[in-house]
Amino acid sequence: MQDLIEKAGLVKMLVLDVDGILSNGQIIYDANGIETKAFSVQDGVGIKSLARYGILTAIITGRNSPMVNKRAAEIGIDYVVQGRDDKLIALKELLSTLDPALDITAADCAYMGDDLPDIKALQTVGFAATVPNAHAEVISRSDMVTTRAGGMGAVREVCDLILKGHGCYQDFIAHYTLDEVPAQDNLS
């Protein structure tokens, strides 16, 4: 586990798939043909926590959905790329648009995906994560498999691990408790 925490400590940007990661992977249409998705509030808190400590976030998804833009705006996702079947090309293009001063390469990214279109991106980044119900080929190529399913707090597990790797987790938790921050995790 310590190796995983150390690896997560190198992450400068978390890149997320949507269906099966930020949502449970189901695509539901109402009677008018409008697509809906459910998102985890816990994932949202985790994503916001990364921003507090300067870790960027991005979405790369194969589908186009206005609700993804809405959710991304609500929780402060830095970059949203939709309608891209080739996640690796989308990741490379996203990285090429970043300010060079950020000094972020694929090796500095964590990527979280659950199906075959995510594999090349997972193989390219420095930290690859997935969910327990992901395709077996994805699981076999991931550094971390969360205990929770997509849309049910899986992203939060990865966010918490990244914060632990950066030495910020106890400081983050201290915002919500009356506990003192242990000296080794204190950022001041």
**pLDDT per position as a tens digit, 81-130:** 999 999 999 999 999 999 999 999 999 999 999 999 999 999 999 999 99
3-state DSSP of 121-133: HHHHCCEEEECCC
pTM: 0.92
Distance CA 38, CA 149 (A): 13
Of 37, 34, 40, 42, nearest to 19 (Cα)? 37
Question: In this structure, what DSSP letter does residue 114 have?
Answer: -
Calculate the CA 104 to chain-centre distance: 16
Task: Tell me the CA distances in angstroms from 113 to 30, 41, 94, 173, 186, one per residue in order.
Answer: 26, 19, 16, 26, 32
Q: What is the pLDDT of residue 122?
A: 98
- Cβ 129 vs Cβ 143: under 8 Å: yes
Say which range, 30-34, 36-40, 90-94, 182-186, has the weakest mean pLDDT: 182-186
